[in-house]
Chain A
Amino acid sequence: MISIDVKGLSKNYQIAEKEPGLRGSLKYLFLRTSREVKAVQGINFSINEGEMVGFIGPNGAGKTTTLKMLCGLIHPSSGLISVAGYKPQRRSPKFLRKITLVMGQKQQLIWDLPPIESLLVNAAIYGISESETKRRIKNLGEMLELDDELYRPVRKLSLGQRMKAELLASLLHLPSVLFLDEPTLGLDVNSQIRVRDFLLEYNRKYGATIFLTSHYMADITSLCERVLVLHKGNLFHDGSMASLTEKLTPYRSVKIEFSNLYPLSEFRKYGSIHESNDHYVHLLIPRERVIPNISEILEKYSVTDLEIKDPPIENLISRLFLKDSKK
Chain B
Amino acid sequence: MSNKYSLRLRKFILAARAILIAQYSLMIEYRAEIVLWALSGLLPLIMLALWQESQSSISSIFSRDNLSRYFISAFIVRQFTAVWVMVTFEEDTIEGRMAPYLLQPIAPFWRYYLSHIAEQISRIPIVILMLIILILFSPNLFWMPGLKDVVMGLIAIYLAFSVRFMLHWNFSMLCFWTERSSSVERLLMIPYLFLSGLLAPIDSFPAFIKSFALFTPFPYILYYPSKIIAGLEVNTLSVLMTLLFWLTLFTCTGRLLWHFGLKRYSAMGS
Segment at the interface with A among B12-20, B72-80, B157-165, B234-242: B12-20
A277 close to chain B: CB less than 8 A: no
- Within the assembled complex, what's the spacing in Å between the Cα atoms of A315 and B22? 48
Segment at the interface with A among B43-51, B103-111, B191-199: B103-111
- Within the assembled complex, what's the spacing in Å between the Cα atoms of A13 and B269? 8
Q: Is the interface of B mostly helix, strand, loop or mixed?
A: helix
Write out the residue numbers on chain B whose beta carbons fall within 8 Å of the beta carbon of A127. 11, 14-15
Distance of A76 from chain B, by nearest CB (Å)? 10
- Within the assembled complex, what's the spacing in Å between the Cα atoms of A97 and B106? 11
Closest residue on chain A to residue B16 by CB atoms: A124
Write out the residue numbers on chain A whose beta carbons fall within 8 Å of the beta carbon of B101. 108
Contact: A120 with B268, CB < 8 Å? no
Contact: A120 with B267, CB < 8 Å? no
Contact: B22 with A74, CB < 8 Å? no
Contact: B269 with A121, CB < 8 Å? no
B26 close to chain A: CB less than 8 A: yes
Tell me how many residues of B have a C-beta within 8 Å of chain A. 29
Contact: A126 with B103, CB < 8 Å? no
Specify which of A93, A108, A112 is in contact with B100 (CB 8 Å cutoff): A108
Interface string of B1-44 (1 = CB under 8 A from A): 00000000001001101110110011001100000000000000
Specify which of A107, A113, A125 is in contact with B18 (CB 8 Å cutoff): A125
A201 close to chain B: CB less than 8 A: no
B184 close to chain A: CB less than 8 A: no
Distance of B132 from chain A, by nearest CB (Å)? 30
Distance of B88 from chain A, by nearest CB (Å)? 11
Write out the residue numbers on chain A whose beta carbons fall within 8 Å of the beta carbon of B105. 93, 96-97, 125-126
Distance of B262 from chain A, by nearest CB (Å)? 9
Contact: A74 with B15, CB < 8 Å? no
Contact: A117 with B25, CB < 8 Å? yes
Write out the residue numbers on chain B whose beta carbons fall within 8 Å of the beta carbon of A153. 29
Write out the residue numbers on chain A whose beta carbons fall within 8 Å of the beta carbon of B18. 120-121, 123-125
| Residue among A14, A65, A106 having the largest count of chain B Cβ atoms under 10 Å | A106
Contact: B102 with A73, CB < 8 Å? yes
Specify which of B15, B25, B97, B266 is in contact with A73 (CB 8 Å cutoff): B266
- Within the assembled complex, what's the spacing in Å between the Cα atoms of A110 and B265? 23
B96 close to chain A: CB less than 8 A: yes
Write out the residue numbers on chain B whose beta carbons fall within 8 Å of the beta carbon of A101. 99-100, 103
Q: A89-B266, A110-B22, A112-B26 are in contact. Are A122 and B103 (CB under 8 A)?
A: no
Write out the residue numbers on chain B whose beta carbons fall within 8 Å of the beta carbon of A117. 21-22, 25-26
Contact: B103 with A99, CB < 8 Å? yes
Write out the residue numbers on chain A whose beta carbons fall within 8 Å of the beta carbon of B30. 112
A57 close to chain B: CB less than 8 A: no
Tell me how many residues of A have a C-beta within 8 Å of chain B. 37
Closest residue on chain A to residue B13 by CB atoms: A124
Contact: B26 with A96, CB < 8 Å? no
Contact: B104 with A125, CB < 8 Å? yes
A100 close to chain B: CB less than 8 A: yes
Contact: A13 with B104, CB < 8 Å? no
A233 close to chain B: CB less than 8 A: no
Distance of B173 from chain A, by nearest CB (Å)? 18
Question: In residues 97-133 of chain B, which contact A (Cβ within 8 Å)?
Answer: 97, 99-106
Write out the residue numbers on chain A whose beta carbons fall within 8 Å of the beta carbon of B100. 101, 106, 108, 170
Contact: A113 with B104, CB < 8 Å? no
A54 close to chain B: CB less than 8 A: no
Write out the residue numbers on chain A whose beta carbons fall within 8 Å of the beta carbon of B266. 73-75, 89
Closest residue on chain B to residue A118 by CB atoms: B22
- Within the assembled complex, what's the spacing in Å between the Cα atoms of A207 and B96? 29
- Within the assembled complex, what's the spacing in Å between the Cα atoms of A121 and B100? 13
Distance of A169 from chain B, by nearest CB (Å)? 9
Write out the residue numbers on chain A whose beta carbons fall within 8 Å of the beta carbon of B99. 68, 73, 101, 103, 106
Distance of B21 from chain A, by nearest CB (Å)? 7
A72 close to chain B: CB less than 8 A: yes
Write out the residue numbers on chain B whose beta carbons fall within 8 Å of the beta carbon of A91. 102-103
Write out the residue numbers on chain B whose beta carbons fall within 8 Å of the beta carbon of A106. 95-97, 99-100
Contact: B267 with A124, CB < 8 Å? no
Write out the residue numbers on chain B whose beta carbons fall within 8 Å of the beta carbon of A89. 266
Interface string of B249-270 (1 = CB under 8 A from A): 0000000000000000111111
- Within the assembled complex, what's the spacing in Å between the Cα atoms of A155 and B86? 24
Interface string of A126-168 (1 = CB under 8 A from B): 1100000000000000000000000001000000000000000
Other CB < 8 Å A-B pairs besides A106-B100, A120-B18, A126-B104, 20 of them? A13-B268, A13-B269, A68-B99, A68-B269, A73-B269, A74-B269, A96-B105, A101-B99, A103-B96, A103-B99, A105-B96, A106-B99, A107-B97, A108-B97, A110-B26, A124-B14, A124-B17, A125-B15, A125-B106, A170-B100
Q: List 12 A-B contacts (CB under 8 A).
A: A75-B266, A96-B104, A97-B105, A101-B100, A103-B96, A113-B25, A117-B21, A121-B15, A121-B22, A125-B104, A126-B104, A127-B15
Q: Which 3 A-B pairs have the closest CB atoms?
A: A124-B18, A93-B105, A108-B100
